[in-house]
Structure 1
Amino acid sequence: MPDPPGPRVGRVYLVGAGPGDPGLLTLRGKEILERAEVVVYDRLASPRLLEFVAPGAERIYVGKKAGRHVVPQDRINAIIVEKAREGKTVVRLKGGDPFIFGRGGEEAQELRRAGIPYEIVPGVTSAIAVPAYAGIPLTHRAHTASVAFVTGHRESGKDDEATIDWKGLSTGVGTLVFLMGMSNLPNIVRRLVENGRPPETPVAVIRWGTTPRHRSVDGTLADIVDRVREAELGPPAVIVVGEVAGLRSELDWFEGRPLLGRRVLVTRTREQASELVVRLEMRGALCVECPTIAVGPPADPAPLDRAVTELAAYDWVVFSSTNAVRFFFARLWDRGLDARHLGRARLAAVGEGTAQALEALRLRVDLVPDDFRAEGLLEAFGREGVAGRRILVPRAEKGRELLPEGLRRLGAEVTVAPTYRTYAPELPEGMVEALEADPVDVVTFTSSSTVKHFFKLFPEAQRRRILTRARVACIGPVTAKTAEKIGLRVDILPEKSTIVDLVHAIEDYFAGVRAADRDFLARRQAGAR
């Protein structure tokens, strides 16, 4: 739609947020979110999508729950018009697709009447995505070639009931997908059977599809209401009626993920949490990001500056963390220097993650111990021989003395350069209440600092409530020792101190829990017989 003549106004983008999995947002949707000055968003739009929004952008929540609107539709229309008239770029972020039962058409009409330029950015509708995640193909050559999407919230007796052709739906369409129909499920079933759909027709009901809270119930028109009631399944859910619904048990691929439904509290810094979060979410976990540690430059940069200017005099530079790599080279570049000033210095790294951070800068790492701890590096240097060598150790302001002292015992001349500092950040608004209301299954700690700052941020009473059922997972023995010293019982500890191994250890732990549950149920059933 072209810009209207007259005074400049903003532009409104009606953006489909997809069905819940943030990975299903379109590239165009992400691009628009990054440029937004105002975001007006719904309950069903993933909160993770707001991470794409610039920090200074205005965020306006207008979410809806069944039977209760936080902000009525006419007010939503007024908000997007008002913000656009202020000359701002406005994103109306809507769950699913704006034009599939999303009232996007009404909002576009309101914008047209107000003379506001707008653009529609389609989204992946839950009507398609949720069945796909449940393993249900909406069309199949052996079963059906027709699909209908139906709004399910209309109740019997309403004036608009006649707008649904129940006879045509019941006998003329192979697959029926009902959205927003959970409260009306008994009426939907009754109408279909009364109008000729066989009672033995397969039905699947999928709640919170595409997200870690995904759950589904199978049945037929004859028994699905009872099955849903027994499973205590509520909205939001998608109802699929038709022969293809019977393929779910054969084609399901999502519900078998090993950590599906597990809530994991990730305590890493926001900058470092992404790999851990992505790997956990790939296994079905619901990650709650609560950084208990923030990282910044050292309070006194003078020692680091001296080390940077004297780089050519060192035989080795030893990095024990990715933060050390990040802040060391940032300071190097700030001083107008680059990697050439490393001169003859060789590089050592404690752990694969630190080595990868160096390799990302196109720097070859000369020494990485098999044991990803300072102890392993000392053992490797003992074999290498460092007597008389000058070694620079860029590290945190408050770090373990084990490495520099151990190198000195091996005869090296060691310089420690405080490169960064860690501190406890402020908790995100509403985080404590959210964790107390819905406790997590696992808390991950990836450094001693994350453990210490977790205790600083959460008073004892809050910690007890948050950790009611949580298992504690530590990335390595040093972190685990800190946790145990403070009073935590460490349940999960990988053999190697890497993010990949930590995720595998969490997965293995809960695989054992599931196996124990199955064995218990089998013994109980055997006893009953």
Structure 2
Amino acid sequence: MTTPRNAPKRTDQGDVVFVGAGPGDPGLLTVRAVEALRDAHVVVLDEPAHHQMLEHASDLVEVVDVGVDDAGVALTAAARGRRLVQSAKNGRRVVRLLEGDPFSHPTGADEALACAKAGVPFEAVAGVATGTAVPTHAGVPLVAGRRRSTQLFDVGGKLDLHSCAADTLVFTGVTEQLGELVQSVVDAGRVPSTPVAVITAGSTVSQQSVLGTLADIGSAVKAAKIDGPYVVIVGDAVEHRDTLSWFETKPLFGWRVLVPRTKEQAGSLTDSLRGYGAVPEGVPTISVEPPRNPQQIDKAVRGMVEGRYEWIAFTSFNALRAVKEKLIGYGLDARALSGLKVAAVGEKTAQALREWGIEPDLVPSGEQSAAGLLADWPPYDEVLDPINRVFLPRADIATETLAAGLMEMGWEVDDVTAYRTVRAAPPPAKTREAIKTGKFDAVVFTSSSTVRNLVGIAGKPHANTVIACIGPATAKTAEEHGLRVDVMAPEPSVELLADTLAEFGDSRRMSLLEAGEPVLKPSQRRRSASRRKSAQ
């Protein structure tokens, strides 16, 4: 049996790598942590957030959850250690993900001792510590001005605060003990007016911070209705929060943004939205299927291999994928395009070609569209061009603009349907309900077809949901479907669409602050208004 290409190789002896997973944000994993995940046969975890980090592991990795046993009771450190030893048998490499840093974690050292006792080799990959990362994401400096001493505590252990003279105290792992902790700090000599910050879901886009003093923080947290575990910061350093808060003030912080595209199509758009603090959720609105009659594409691909064409033009990633799949089916690879001139529309298509080992000869210098490609395409020259034929694989619904323009310039074009686009199946009922009831803060439409198809499979977004469109044609389609367009990109670019939505979010936030209103997301304001109405 052959080993799959992405499967890690086994060693003679199994081992365990304890990886610090940081405070929660997958982006805070270290390079070494990502390397360890890539080489893992087994990943052992106990936090739901750690499942997002599995994207760095092999598709074949085994996942073991050691949070609780079958009865729902939290496993002890000894029981977790036994699971690790068992998982490392038969030469398997085990990665144990631990919140924060491995040896700062409540059970990390005990689990490592269990491995040492059983003779299982292990190593530890240091991680971003929760006790320092969360204050940073909350905008609270642990060292500032004359306040240069900080002490960190994990409330899972015994606390002795009477001998602590540090300027700033940081407590991690706080849950229902918040009231007792506050009283202990006061009993140890801190005045009730000392500033306090309580942070939950630190470093993630679900992060929430509640500010107060030792005297009133308990009631403030209760009023905010946030759940632990918390990171609690006590000291005058909390006063810097208003000035240094950089994370929770991102223009789209915590916004749930619907992206009506497939995961493969939405890559750069979702990355840009995440950079602005949003939580993008993709909903495919189209499904790509083979042409009903594959004979035309089969004939064209064979002609390409035989040297029938001077150019091949990929106007979409899906066109490239269709041709690539045909070649692979024939047992061929990128070398089949040797001698061809290759044109590509869009950076994603061009990048996919490069990853396949092909540098495109022509990419539009301006607008990334068929029209933009046509504007840069050289006319046919009987002397310079030995072959006058172009292979144009495209979608069944694509316009004939490029083919017609190339023929006007003297080229002969084989305009071939490489794939069909059909409306996707409706998303899950929970997603459809969220769309209709305004639980999404924004929807970003990247084409007229995404508007039509989303409305067709899931219904119209709620009136309070912010509607963002990539250009005038898309905006017109949205308005024709009864949607109010709030944001439109100045140019047809998904990156500019994200930028423009972020500018809208930032302007909205500043307006709320200037009006003295709470900075609520569009979805929150809808629910808040409903509560006010019902109370009248």
Query: What's the TM-score, normalizing by structure 1?
Result: 0.77
Instruction: Kindly state the Cα deviation for residue 195 of structure 1 after the two structures are TM-superposed.
Output: 1.7
- Which 10-residue stretch deviates more, 53-62 or 123-132? 53-62
Larger mean Cα displacement after TM superposition, 11-20 or 77-86: 77-86
Instruction: Sort the Cα spacing of 1:297 and 1:81 in 2 relative to 1 into closer, same or farther, 3 A.
Output: farther
Identity %: 37
The 1:376/1:120 distance shift into structure 2, 3 A limit, reads closer
Match for residue 362 of structure 1 among 338, 356, 359: 359
Aligned to 2:184: 191
* Contact kept in structure 1, 2:363 and 2:373, CA below 8 Å: no
Is the CA contact (8 Å cut-off) linking 2:98 and 2:105 kept in structure 1? no
1:136 aligns with 2:140: yes
Q: 1:328 to 1:62 in 2, by over 3 A?
A: same
DSSP 3-state at the match of 1:281 = helix
The answer on 1:151 being equivalent to 2:149 is no
Instruction: Say whether residues 1:260 and 2:253 are aligned partners.
Output: yes
- Inter-CA distance 411–331: structure 2 relative to 1 (3 Å threshold): same
In the TM superposition, 1:256-335 aligns within 5 A as: 256-290=249-283, 300=294, 301-309=297-305, 313-314=309-310, 317-325=312-320, 328=323, 334=332
Number of the residue aligned with 2:509? 514
Is the 1:95–1:102 Cα contact (8 Å) retained in structure 2?
no
The question of whether the paired residues in 2 share the 8 Å contact of 1:440 and 1:469 is answered with no
How much does 1:228 deviate? 2.2
Query: 1:303, 1:448 → 2: CA distance?
Result: 32
Which of residues 161, 168, 171 in structure 2 aligns to 1:166?
Answer: 161
When the two chains are superposed, the root-mean-square deviation of aligned CA atoms in Å is: 4.1
Instruction: Return closer, same or farther for 1:262/1:336 CA change in 2, 3 Å cut-off.
Output: closer
Q: How does 1:86-485 map to 2 (within 5 A)?
A: 86-145=90-149, 147-152=150-155, 163-169=158-164, 172-290=165-283, 300=294, 301-309=297-305, 313-314=309-310, 317-325=312-320, 328=323, 334=332, 337=335, 340-342=338-340, 349-351=344-346, 354=349, 361-365=358-362, 367-370=364-367, 372-374=368-370, 380=375, 390-404=389-403, 413-420=412-419, 439-446=439-446, 460=458, 470-476=465-471
Give the alignment partner of residue 57 of structure 1, picking from 55, 61, 84.
Answer: 61
**How far 1:250 moved relative to its partner?**
2.2
In structure 2, how many angstroms separate the alpha carbons of the residues matched to 1:13 and 1:55? 19
Given the alignment of the two structures, is residue 503 of structure 1 paired with residue 498 of structure 2, yes or no?
yes
1:159 maps to none
Mapped to 2, the partners of 1:404 and 1:229 lie a distance apart of: 65
Contact 1:40 1:90 in 2 (8 A): yes
SS across alignment from 1:341: coil
Aligned-pair distance for 1:52? 0.8
Answer yes or no: is the 8 Å Cα contact 1:206–1:214 preserved in 2. yes
Q: Distance in 1 between matches of 2:354 and 2:12?
A: 49
- 2:522 is matched with none
* Residues 260 and 284 in structure 2, CA contact (< 8 A), matched pair in contact too: yes
Distance 2:97 2:160 in 1: 31
In 2, the alpha carbon distance for the partners of 1:127 and 1:297 equals 53
Q: Is the 8 A contact 2:345 2:363 kept in 1?
A: no
Write the distance in 1 (CA, Å) between the matches of 2:282 and 2:65.
20
The worse-fitting range, judged by mean Cα deviation, of 289-298 and 23-32 is 289-298
> Under a length normalisation based on structure 2, what TM-score does the superposition of the two structures give?
0.76
The AA in structure 2 aligned to 1:414 is V
Stretches of structure 2 lacking an aligned partner (at least 5 in a row): 1-10, 383-387, 519-536
Pair 1:120–1:422, CA change in 2 (3 A): farther
The secondary structure found in structure 2 opposite 1:18 is: coil
1:496 Cα deviation (Å)?
2.0
- Between Structure 1 and Structure 2, how many residues are aligned? 491
Q: Choose 85-94 or 413-422, whichever is displaced more.
A: 413-422
